[in-house]
Amino acid sequence: MTPDVASNARKSMPSLHRASEPDVLKPLLERAALTPESRERTLGHAAGLLADLRAAQGKGWVNQFLQEYRLNSSEGVALLSLAEAFLRVPDPETADLLIADKLGDADWRAHTGKSNSTLVNSATWGLVVGRALVGEGEKPSSLRRLISRAGEPFVRQAVGAAMRMMGEIFVMGRTIDEAMKRMRKPEHKGFTASFDMLGEAARTEADAARYFRAYTDAVAAVGRDAAAGHSISVKLSALHPRYEVARWDECVPALTEMLEALAVQAAGLGIALTVDAEESERLEMSLDIIGTVAGLPSLKGWDGFGMAVQAYGKRARPVVAWAGELGRTMNVRLVKGAYWDSEIKRTQVEGLADYPLFTRKAATDVSYLAVARDMLDAPAIRPAFASHNALTVATIMEWAGNSRDFEFQRLHGMGDGLYERLVRENGYHCRVYAPVGGHRDLLAYLVRRLLENGANSSFVHQLADERLTEAEILADPVAKIAAVGGARHPSIPLPVDLFGAERRNSAGLDLADRAVLEATVKSVSFSGEGRSPGPQAMSPATLLPGLRRGAEEAIGRAALAFPAWSATPVEHRAACLDRLADLLEAHRDELMAICVQEAFKTIPDALGEVREAVDFCRYYAQQARDGLQPVELPGPTGERNVLRFDGRGVWATIAPWNFPLAIFLGQTVAALVAGNAVLAKPAPQTPMIAARAVELAHEAGVPRDALVLLPGGPEVGAALTADPRIAGVAFTGSTATARKIARSLLEDDSRPIVPLIAETGGINAMIVDSTALPEQVVADVITSAFRSAGQRCSALRLLLLQEEIAEATIEMLKGAMDTLRLGDPADPATDVGPVIDQAAYDRLMAYRAGAKIEKTLDAPADGLFVPPTLIRIDRIDALTQEWFGPILHVATWPAGKLADTIRAVNAKGYGLTMGLHSRIARAAEETEALAAVGNLYVNRSMIGAVVGSQPFGGEGLSGTGPKAGGPHYLHRFVVERAVSVDTTSAGGNATLLSLDEGLTTI
């Protein structure tokens, strides 16, 4: 390791985090490369290891099970999907539906009798039996008739046996004592273990306390037999329910204290303790915690402290260098990475500059080798190399020479055959990473990791693919990456290019980067006597001079401007929107500050507001270019038919306060790009952000009279909608106000019939069955119901839990609610800010006073804070209207009654959003077929629709359509005019006359 790499380790991490892949890989390629002589020796070692691995595939029921049901086969994926959910389903009815869903489409019979293991063949017959009984659309077979007599309980038993076998494969033991006993079996002779009381990240304080007790008990148990050499692995996110950068000042000290307690306990017993790796956004926090504990005087002389480093991260090399600078011997476990899918998606969703990890599997292998070489050279690091890759292992052996002062590691249930000979004959040390815990929870967690990270390019998959040659399996990753110049994978575009050539994605901010977050806080925060100098000057009196002119005058100005703007080419109008998008991004901090201070938005919500406005501008610009050009239509020869799209005239866009920039601009720019003049009326609570947006639109090239801001209250809106010169209205708000607007547009019989685009609210329900993962449900419920203080049209209002899981889910939900923080929206630690005004506060608090509250929180004494509230209701019908705030109602539904439950929600007449949490694909299909809603969300939160990806808008009492951010929205703003010209009337069809076949002799 070079001195400059070590001395600048922590300083170099921020620049590497989002650096381009080729730039990061260039020094790694040099470090990972083998000389030709070394490469030849390494391939020889690797070939021998490969032979050992393949020989092991036929030995032991664990290997044979994995070989029979490869993770990249349809049966393997079906089995993993079943295992992820089956053991947590308490009721037989849903269990049967899950079995039918997962087993119904796979060919289990093809696997019967194929394995040398009686156990594997028995499990396979259980799956065949299950498939025969639940298979749909099949002719009745003798087997099906036979087992039908036993019924579903027999099938559940058979499938349960297969699931328990999978638990044995991936989980070392249900308790630490059981796991330690299993490690004493002959197949583990010579190996040690790193036990991890693994599970989901903590969602509640109770979860965190339970995991901490499990770790302390595990340390004590392993310490009773310290001579065995086993160790403990700790996952920090299991010890705190809010392990996130926004809560740095809270969670880092608390986790440091807990890790210190575990380390002191382990040191006293003479065993080792390793901190597991987490997602990349937690890296800096983890390093602070680990660095503090590593420097404690009480741990001086103990060489058992360690950490895991993920090689797929671009910062892996400086992290290892940093670990070598801590002034003590550190155990460092190098792994390839565990959260690849989620890291890629998060980066894309948040519109960040680049990925924090490598996008090619071979690039991760290069990084792993380069970092491994650094670790072998570092005097203060005791290396541990976790890998199932024969080439990786052989390369490390080549670099280490005769040294055995390091260890290999492998996952329990995988990699059998790779290390046995190395350990028992060649003196190498290998540790088994051994998850410990109940199969019901732990198997689900481990299976999801396999499903998320089981890339076809992985060594484990390649080994099982009989079509691949030894040379292909042992191909040099350095050569692979060098051949493509270190370029990012072509199928994984940068977030800015997510939507291809059509439009640029809006740029986000990495709020999980502490430096970025702190800078953002400064730009949006109040100062002095409660307001920063910028927004202090932004009172209506100073910011909106001359804008409170009468509606009649404003309509007149817009009407005069309409013809010229409508005649402006579509390309020019679209270019104005693109320039506006760029200006919004250039003024992002300013706009976020106004959103925080005027609309009480939290920092993430303010950022989302600006990004959505940018996306609307670029999306509608692209839609106009593609969809509003004249269309040549077919017809008979000698006739020209054209369909044109022209602006309707003057539109009134009436925006809400809950999205005072995104919806305000979305409605407005759609009308503008379609060729209309616009009178834009913001909500009376949020005029300042609207005024700034209009100012930027004018700067982008929209004529001042083609876009006129008209602030004011209901009286201004009423004056607009009543004026016969208004050619259309786009409105977002309450259903009651939408009805009033609709009536006003029809009151004058002499007035033209004009379109109304209305987006209103809804009694939005999330339905949860017993196959759903409780931790995921609770996280999505918290986000959907309480983010933005519940003040979103799409927010969750009604949680419908299957009866069998209701109490446990509600208990976890209440614990998660306890972790929410109410306060100043400019504080990054705030989850729930105040509601918009006194009227909203009074209405919500009065409703709460008469409700059966299941759970609520304390609220700050000063301010319009409505505390997040959970209200129990007896039946779906008990909720009769939308309550626009952080109030969530919960009811139950019986197993097997999904269709009836959906129909009961539909009967309310609203139709905006609905959520479903289920692992049963057919449940999702049934919900999609029956739900009368504009937006259905499956196994995710119900808010945050992305422009162009999730067009947003409801039906029934929830809106008129078309959906905002969708491909049909712009056409509602135009008139369609067809022009037909008889070209023969001018003396003939020149096109026809030019064809020899059409000529006749005179």
863: tokens are: 């301010």
Strands (DSSP E) contained in 575-673 are 631-633, 639-647, 650-654
The string of DSSP letters for 762-779 reads ---EEEE-TTS-HHHHHH
User: How many CB atoms lie under 10 A from the CB of residue 377?
Assistant: 13
Is residue 631 classed as helix, strand or coil in its secondary structure? strand
Closest CA to 568 of 666, 696, 703: 703
Phi then psi for 475, rounded to 5 degrees? -60, 145
In terms of phi and psi (left: phi > 0; alpha: psi -120 to 50; beta: otherwise), the region of 823 is left
Instruction: Count Cα atoms within 13 angstroms, Cβ side, for 442.
Output: 21
Beta-bridge partner residues of 887? 869
Q: Which amino acid is at 829?
A: A
Which is nearest to 293 in space by CA: 374, 375, 236?
Answer: 236
Q: Give CA–CA dist 663/577, Å, rounded.
A: 15
Amino acid at 166: M
Contact 448, 776 (CB under 8 A): no
Which of 960, 958, 943 minimizes the C-alpha distance to 662? Answer: 943
Q: Which of 394, 440, 349 is nearest to 84 (CA)?
A: 440
Q: Give the 3-state secondary structure percentages of the chain, helix then strand then coil, rounded to 5.
A: 50, 15, 35
Question: Which amino acids are annotated catalytic?
Answer: 759, 793
Residue 35 DSSP code? P
Peptide bond into 962 cis (omega under 30): yes
Residue 993's identity, in one-letter code, is: L
DSSP state of 659: S
* Coil, helix or strand at residue 205: helix
d(CA 882, CA 885): 9
Pairwise CA distance, residues 884 & 739, whole Å? 18
921 φψ region: left (φ > 0), alpha (ψ -120 to 50), beta (else): alpha
Cα-based distances in Å from 613 to 520, 729, 963: 19, 19, 16
Q: Which of 666, 617, 610 is nearest to 503 (CA)?
A: 617
223 by Cβ neighbours in 10 Å (0-12 / 13-18 / 19+) ranks as: middle
Residue among 273, 268, 275 nearest 310 (CA): 275
